[in-house]
Amino acid sequence: MKVYMKPIKMIAWFAENGILTPVRYQMNDESRQHITINIDRVIQRDEEKLAGNRMIIFKCQSVIEGTEKVYELKYEIGSCKWFLYKM
Amino acid sequence: MFGVYNYDVGCRKVMDKKRIIFHIDANSAYLSWEAVYRLQHGEAVDLREIPSVVGGNQATRHGIVLAKSIPSKKYGVKTGEPLIQARRKCPNLVVVPPRYELYMQCSSAMIDVLKDYSDKIQLFSIDECFLDFTGMDALLGDPLEVAHGIKERIKRELGFTINIGISSNQLLAKMAGQLKKPDMVHTLYPEEMPSKMWVLPVEELYMVGRATAPKLNQMGIYTIGDLAKTNIDLLKYKFKSWGLMLYAYAHGIEDTPVNNDGAVPYIKGIGNSCTIHFDVEDRETAHKVLLSLVETVAMRLRHGGFCCRLVQVSIRTSELASYGHQRKFHVATDCTNEIYAEACRLFDRAWRGEPIRHLGVRVSELCGNDFIQLSMLEESWEKQRLVDRAVDKIRLKHGSYSIFRAGFLHSRLAPMQGGVVEDFPVMTSIL
């Protein structure tokens, strides 16, 4: 997997107990076209607090352009930003 | 700074033996924190592995090296030297700007981890603290193993390396923490002093700096061991009470408790200074800079619950020559306007008219502000002090720039100067 760390637009779902699940996101592909990706499955979630900065890492699976791909998303709690971390 | 030891060197401390103190120090803190933050945000290069420095902004003339990576050390880059000089030594040096909010965040994350190991933690600076482990060994086990555990945990969770020094008092723990870096745990118990501490050059001793070291060298004292073996009367004759303290430190004698109430270290004076982004050539502008410094200093003074008896003004010219002037008040004060008036008087008396690069204001001889001896002969500043209190409250609630003096409008100068960040949290400004 390659590290991208690209900011993305996200629709996420926050449960009553505070657990958050990413649902669908939008990003620009190489030709600067918006593409929307549905997250089919969240495989794993981890929290890291490197440099005291809390981030939740989601390992997810989606079908992108006809192929099934596994990749990682990051949510930065302090700034409420979502990133496509690795794909 | 450590507290003052009761110099009864003759009776070697007995109680110290039972204490276990950790000194925790983040390795090249600013730089490694920045490196970890960048790695977390997807940067491929680890700043710690290439010649890199955290440097101030050259445009505002704050262009000095604040922290350096270990590879840049090989090129001879030194902390505190101008960036231009550092670049000359190492042409492919990577310079990153400082990010003080991040440092605060890293520092408090480190303290949060340490709180799992003891309730007595004393902040010493943004990247250093003391932890009193006395009695915790019954619960957590061998101090050395716990220290290794803390070090590994911080590396794993927070991503940066630390050094831990273990001993029976703060002084020896700090000396131990600085033995070899990075990512190490050292012990320096009193019985290990001859082999681990006495062999070090005397300038490595805490409180021996560039002024004291040459004087000691002239006396034939080159190592800490030499100092420990020097006749105490000779040191007392040469350095007065300072000599007694040096002698005690060379013997590892120091007994201040790890103080965790408010985490504010013992304060002798409060000062702020700033490098101005242009050369100041007229008296009026210089007074304005002084006022902006006094605003910060006096606010910190009041916040700490102190009054001061002495004001000091320091001037550095564009030729980098420094001088200063100081004067005592008859009556201790914490009033911004009173300190400012005195600072201006001192400045006018000291200034020789050359262009000024850097100005500083410092107050000392502190005392509590609850009881003050009043004087019938002095002007009453009572109303002014009420205004100061009101202004402080507004600034605390709405930010430093919510209220400032009209004189700073369109003046190219910040209404409050000194300290590292304009809107630095007030508590930490005492550190």
- Residue A21 pLDDT > 90, yes or no? yes
Using alpha carbons only, give the angle A44, B160, B65 rounded to the nearest 5 degrees: 135
CATH assignment of the domain containing B415: 3.30.1490.100
Render A3-50 in DSSP notation, one character per residue. Answer: EEEEEEEEEEEE-TTS-EEEEEEEEE-TTS-EEEEE--EEEEEEEE-G
For position B240, what pLDDT does the model report? 84
pLDDT in tens, B277-330: 888 898 998 999 999 999 888 888 888 888 899 999 999 988 888 899 999 988
pLDDT in tens, B207-236: 888 888 888 888 888 888 888 888 888 888
B380 lies in some domain: yes
pLDDT in tens, B80-118: 888 888 888 988 889 998 888 888 889 889 999 999 998
- Rounded Cα distance, B270 and B306, in Å: 10
Split into its structural domains, chain B has a count of 1
Instruction: Select the residue of A3, A52, A83 nearest B105 (Cβ to Cβ).
Output: A52
Is residue B423 within 8 A of residue B399, CB to CB? The reply is yes
pLDDT in tens, B25-63: 999 889 999 999 999 998 888 999 999 999 877 777 678
**Does this model's pTM top 0.90?**
no
For position B12, what pLDDT does the model report? 47
Total CB pairs under 8 A between chain A and B: 44
- Rounded Cα distance, A55 and A47, in Å: 6
Catalytic site includes residue B101: no
Show which residues on chain A lie within 8 Å of chain B, measured between beta carbons. Answer: 3-5, 48-53, 55, 83, 85
B303 lies in some domain: yes
B384 lies in some domain: yes
Instruction: Select the residue of B37, B43, B110 nearest A53 (Cβ to Cβ).
Output: B37
- Rounded Cα distance, B287 and B284, in Å: 5
Q: What is the extent of the structural domain holding B365?
A: 269-429
Between residues B425 and B302, which one has the greater pLDDT?
B302
- Rounded Cα distance, B201 and B196, in Å: 11
* Residue B308 tokens, joined: 């001061």
Task: Give kind and range of the element (H or E) at residue B368.
Answer: strand B367-368
B387 lies in some domain: yes
pLDDT in tens, A36-64: 999 999 999 999 999 989 999 999 999 98
- Rounded Cα distance, B60 and B255, in Å: 43
**Distance in Å, alpha carbon of B155 to nearest chain A alpha carbon:** 9
Of the residues B100, B112, B158, the best mutation for testing chain A's interface (the one with the most A CB atoms within 10 Å of its CB) is B158
Half-sphere exposure of B327 toward its Cβ, with a 13 Å CA cutoff? 16
A83 contacts B159? CB cut-off 8 A: no
Among chain B residues, CA nearest to A75: B41
Task: Report DSSP state, residue B105.
Answer: H
